Amino acid sequence: MLKIENITYRIGPRTLLDRASTAINPGHRVGLVGRNGSGKTTLLRLITGELDADGGSTETPSAWRIGISSQEAPGGPQSLIDTVLSGDAELADLMAEAETATDAHRIADIHARLHAKGAHSAPARAARILAGLGFSEENQQKPCNAFSGGWRMRVALASLLFSEPELLLLDEPTNHLDLEARLWLEDYLRRYKGTILLVSHDRGLLNRVVGEILHLEQGKLKLYQGGYDRFEATRRMQLELNAKAKVKQDVQRAHIQEFVDRFRYKASKAKQAQSRIKMLARMEPIPEYLGEGSVTFAFPDPKALAPPLYTADEVDLGYDGTPVLRNVSFRLDADDRIALLGANGNGKSTLMKLLADRLQPMAGRVAKSGKLRVGYFAQHQSEELDLEATPFIELARKRPDDLDHTIRAQLGRFGFSQERAETKVGSLSGGEKARLLFALMTNDAPHVLLLDEPTNHLDVESREALIQALNLFKGAVIIVSHDPHIIELTADRFWLVDNGGVRTYDGDLDDYRTLLLAGRGNGAGKDNGAKGETGAKASADVAGKGGGLNKKQQRQAAAARRQGLSDLKKTLNQAERTVHQLEKEKVTLREAMADPKLYEGGGDDLAALQKRLGKLEKNLKGAEDTWEALLEEHERGNA
């Protein structure tokens, strides 16, 4: 069992952990959650002994090995498979000693221990883990220093998983993983036999992998049963009950205090007054809940442009004369919400760079509105921020003609108070830097938002705020994310970037997850339901199916089909808005009919409301039927 008892830790004047206590049973998988900067990573480092607590202690069984996510990527000439094998220090030492040992008893002990650790199957196990995290058999034999930092962080994770510690401490393990590798990791962790303490802001991961949530808030730890959704519901209910209990207690205290103030100096009531003073002293006040502050996002609305915003016809994209994507054709409209699927390295970011005008096509044609503005978010952009500047200065450099209050208003859209707007960028948390990038990329009210892994450093509350802001945004959104939760709630179309092409994917994320898990070991992602289509054939699906027509006729047919689907989608959206408006009117009408005063008169007003309600319900039924018919037609058009 992992025991944390009255642990306290301070950084300067700030107390991160204040006599925090909890216990985690062996074999349990627990998610550690809390706002950015609350001390989650610090707690993991206290458990490993890397940091010394100012008070209290952590305790684990002496036989337990503790493994924690590495913050540094491995390097050097050693192959990936050998790097992972060396992640189990005991196994590596035993293998080395087996080559040199001469004492018969020691040799017997070594081989017994090697057998217990499954040394004969270790290379195969290491290879399976690397394959799950996206490394082909060929790449597993390449040296570490041949890969980028993000891929080497995957190797570090593979080494940790291979070592199979009894206590596995994971700090945002999905940050460097694409959706495909993340799905494999979920499945692996669900079957892990040891104890897991997992720091993550990924709601899906916390719902599907862990059985308990450990919440760190205001220096205290509290353990909840269930995944993240259950934790959120339970905590919300507790806060509501505490608020009601506080109101009730405040009324009771005020009543007692009133009696004391009135009679404490009256001889006949003095004894009773003293009794009530003691009662007040014994009544422990229920503290008012002081939240940690909400995070907001608000993307400015762009000015309307005539459709389409952007079109591409048979475009080739690549670098240094080598194509990454071929024959890419698509149309982008203002109401599009598109998620890009596909493994890392297949070209998702390349496609984003085309739309952001950071990469020119090698062949083919693109067309876009001359007034089109694009906001592009990529995680690596945080490295380009001036660490000595403040958010206010960074934004003022982009908007030199704006007044101070206009700049502060834009920062305020993304949760920057006046104090944080004047804080040096180098002192901001990862989540705050991400929000600053959002403020910078939308400073000119773009028509299209290109979001390449926008959630890596955002906590759960910030991710929910981002989802709400994207759903309210009146422009187009194209998103790449390893977080299925944000994709499911913001995207209504999928493009699969795979095999050197881009095509529509008609399934949902559950279909995609099943497909990946079924084929991950044999190169899943190569087919993904395309039945061996080439990149050129697959990419044609984005624009439309052309049958036996020539390329010119195919483009014309695809353009007509896109226009028809665009018009149909606009009609469908209008029908949906009509349904929502009628439902809202129905709720308002029912609330009016629930007013007791309505029944005190002669009944004329009630009869009028009942008549309105009957007519409204009839209109609502008709609107719902229209919406359902349009939805079926739209789905057939996308088939």
pLDDT tens by residue, 624-634: 777 777 777 76
Question: Is-same-fold flag (310-540; 561-638)?
Answer: no
Mean local confidence (pLDDT), 496-501: 88
Determine the CATH number of domain 310-540: 3.40.50.300
- 603 band by pLDDT with thresholds 50, 70 and 90: low
pLDDT at 169: 93
Q: Which residue has the higher pLDDT, 542 or 47?
A: 47
Query: 3-state class of 55 per DSSP?
Result: strand
- pLDDT beyond 60 at 197: yes
pLDDT at 263: 72
Percent of all residues in the chain with a pLDDT value above 70, rounded to a whole number: 85
Mean local confidence (pLDDT), 313-341: 90
Helix 551-593 crosses helix 604-638 at what angle (to 10 degrees)?
A: 160
pLDDT tens by residue, 21-76: 999 999 999 999 887 777 888 898 899 888 888 888 888 888 888 988 887 778 78
- 214 band by pLDDT with thresholds 50, 70 and 90: very high
pLDDT tens by residue, 262-320: 777 777 667 777 777 777 777 666 655 545 555 677 888 899 888 889 999 999 998 98
Question: Is domain 561-638 given the CATH code 1.10.287 in the classification?
Answer: yes
pLDDT at 379: 66
Window from 45-49, 211-215, 377-381 with minimum mean pLDDT: 377-381
Sign of the CA dihedral 382, 383, 385, 389?
positive
pLDDT at 343: 78
Percent of all residues in the chain with a pLDDT value above 90, rounded to a whole number: 12
- pLDDT beyond 90 at 521: no
Q: Are 299 and 444 in contact (CB under 8 A)?
A: no
How far is residue 209 CA from its own chain's centroid?
15
Q: If you count DSSP H runs as helices and E runs as strands, how many of each does the chain have, helices first? A: 21, 18
Domain regions of the chain by residue span: 2-231, 310-540, 561-638
pLDDT at 612: 79
Mean local confidence (pLDDT), 390-419: 85
- 258 band by pLDDT with thresholds 50, 70 and 90: confident
Residue 100's Cβ-count burial label (10 Å; 0-12, 13-18, 19+) is exposed
- Cβ contacts of 417-426, under 8 Å, gap ≥ 24: 420/391, 421/390, 421/391, 421/392, 422/390, 422/391, 422/392, 423/390, 423/391, 424/387, 424/388, 424/389, 424/390, 425/385, 425/386, 425/387, 425/388, 425/389, 425/390, 425/391, 425/394, 426/387, 426/388
- pLDDT beyond 60 at 530: no
* Confidence (pTM): 0.61
pLDDT at 528: 34
pLDDT at 536: 36
Strands 66-68 and 55-59: unpaired
- Cβ contacts of 465-468, under 8 Å, gap ≥ 24: 465/294, 465/295, 465/296, 465/297, 465/415, 466/297, 466/438, 468/297
- 548 band by pLDDT with thresholds 50, 70 and 90: very low
pLDDT at 479: 93
Highest mean pLDDT among 196-210, 229-243, 276-290: 196-210
Q: Are 543 and 563 in contact (CB under 8 A)?
A: no
Highest mean pLDDT among 430-439, 467-476, 602-611: 467-476
Helix 149-163 crosses helix 179-190 at what angle (to 10 degrees)?
A: 10
Q: Which residue has the higher pLDDT, 210 or 285?
A: 210
Tell me how far CA of residue 267 lies from CA of 240, 276, 278, 466, in angstroms: 42, 15, 18, 64
What rounded mean pLDDT belongs to the chain? 79
Q: Which residue has the higher pLDDT, 217 or 610?
A: 217
pLDDT at 30: 93
Q: Are 473 and 316 in contact (CB under 8 A)?
A: no
Q: Are 41 and 225 in contact (CB under 8 A)?
A: no
pLDDT at 541: 46
For domain 2-231, the CATH superfamily is P-loop containing nucleotide triphosphate hydrolases (3.40.50.300)
pLDDT tens by residue, 562-584: 556 556 666 767 777 777 777 77
Q: Which residue has the higher pLDDT, 316 or 431?
A: 316
Window from 124-138, 524-538, 543-557, 575-589 with minimum mean pLDDT: 524-538
pLDDT tens by residue, 584-601: 787 777 777 777 676 665
The secondary element (H helix, E strand) that includes residue 155 is helix 149-163
Q: Which residue has the higher pLDDT, 329 or 273?
A: 329
Q: Which residue has the higher pLDDT, 129 or 571?
A: 129
Mean local confidence (pLDDT), 127-133: 88
Q: Could you say which DSSP state residue 381 is in?
A: G
pLDDT at 446: 92
Mean local confidence (pLDDT), 415-439: 82
Give Cβ neighbours of residue 271 (< 8 Å, ≥ 6 apart). none
Q: Are 513 and 475 in contact (CB under 8 A)?
A: no
pLDDT at 301: 87
- 141 band by pLDDT with thresholds 50, 70 and 90: confident
pLDDT at 599: 63
